[in-house]
Amino acid sequence: MLVGPLALMLPLLLSGTDAAVDAYQRGDLDEVARMGGQVGAAGIEAMLAAHPDAALTAAAGATDRAELLAPLASLAGSWDRTRAAPAAATAAAIAAGLAQLPVEAEDLAETGRAWRALAMRADRWADVRVHALEVAAAIAHATSADDLGYDLALLTDGDPEVRRAAAELVPQPAPPAARAPLAAVVARDRDPIVALAAAQALCGDLGFGDPPAPILAALGDAGLARLRALAVDPPTDAPGPALVDAARCLAADRDPASATAVRALVNHGPRALRGAINRLRR
């Protein structure tokens, strides 16, 4: 039998979750979020099994929503994609705002490991794994962990979306231990967008005043040759910031072939980027 404060709160909690479900069913999503603020993470977690869509919508309103990252990891690991994908996306949205939420580092450590493990699962959907990477990285950042929150082995994963996310989530400045794996991706990844993401993680550090020599040495001849090829013939869907950062390494390289590649990118690359890239040549 429930006694004490919990017994007094239970009827209010149940009525709040019922009201949130009713609001969701009639399409009043603002009211769902408001009720989420009332029932909090405990009430939302109780809704997850029977009413996951309403629960995920309510999560945005809960001030203690960081506590939902653990149950959301279980839901995101489901074989039911209609449940796993929204749960992972909701968790990524929560994790993106961890800096503004009350969290306990010790409480999040185990949760971070659960999301890290999900990101490593090659038998799960790419979007779920990418969101799992985002959550694991955000938790590591919020708890001042020494590692990235995920394994750099994902830079060689079989799914290009996961490889790209693993590169894009490397913080700047990139840890020295990440330089060699990132450089290998630049040189050898068959997907040019993934190669550019790795180049951005490496070469973007030059924008913070890092000395170029260690980064250029990590890239080596093969990495620089790949960057030149990407500059001369950039993918049509290449992200602009990635191209600019890749050009930083070429502009810092003294090989005339790199200067020629930067000039080609200025002359024939996306018009909106030409000014920024041209300034790197000075």
Tell me which of 156 and 280 has the higher pLDDT. 156
183, 261: one domain: yes
Name the domain boundary from 150, 185, 214.
150
Work out the number of other CB atoms within 10 angstroms of the CB of residue 158. Answer: 7
Element (H, E) at 268: helix 256-268
Residue at 161 is within a domain: no
Summarize pLDDT for 15-51 with one digit per residue, the tens. 567 777 777 788 777 787 788 888 888 888 888 888 8
267, 193: one domain: yes
At 12 the pLDDT is: 43
Q: Could you tell me what percent of the chain has a pLDDT over 90?
A: 59
232, 183: one domain: yes
Summarize pLDDT for 179-215 with one digit per residue, the tens. 999 999 999 999 999 999 999 999 999 988 888 999 9
At 135 the pLDDT is: 97
Mean pLDDT of the chain: 88
Task: Assess whether pLDDT exceeds 80 at residue 165.
Answer: yes
184, 277: one domain: yes
Q: How many domains does the chain have?
A: 3
At 14 the pLDDT is: 47
Residue at 163 is within a domain: no
Q: How confident is the model at residue 136 (pLDDT cuts 50, 70, 90)?
A: very high
Average pLDDT over residues 115-143: 95
Average pLDDT over residues 64-72: 93
Residue at 158 is within a domain: no
Residue at 166 is within a domain: no
Which residues span the domain enclosing 57? 1-63
Summarize pLDDT for 16-26 with one digit per residue, the tens. 677 777 777 88
282, 201: one domain: yes
At 249 the pLDDT is: 96
44, 97: one domain: no
Q: What is the SS3 assignment for 102?
A: coil
Omega before 173 within 30 of 0, i.e. cis? yes
18, 99: one domain: no
Residues 247, 275: Cα–Cα separation, whole Å: 12
CB distance 116 to 150 below 8 Å: yes
195, 242: one domain: yes
Q: Could you tell me what percent of the chain has a pLDDT over 70?
A: 93
Residues 28, 32: Cα–Cα separation, whole Å: 7
Q: What is the SS3 assignment for 31?
A: helix
32, 78: one domain: no
263, 177: one domain: yes
Q: What is each CA distance from 152 to 12, 80, 160, 163, 253, in whole angstroms?
A: 46, 28, 14, 9, 26
Task: Assess whether pLDDT exceeds 90 at residue 158.
Answer: yes
At 23 the pLDDT is: 79
CB distance 267 to 229 below 8 Å: no
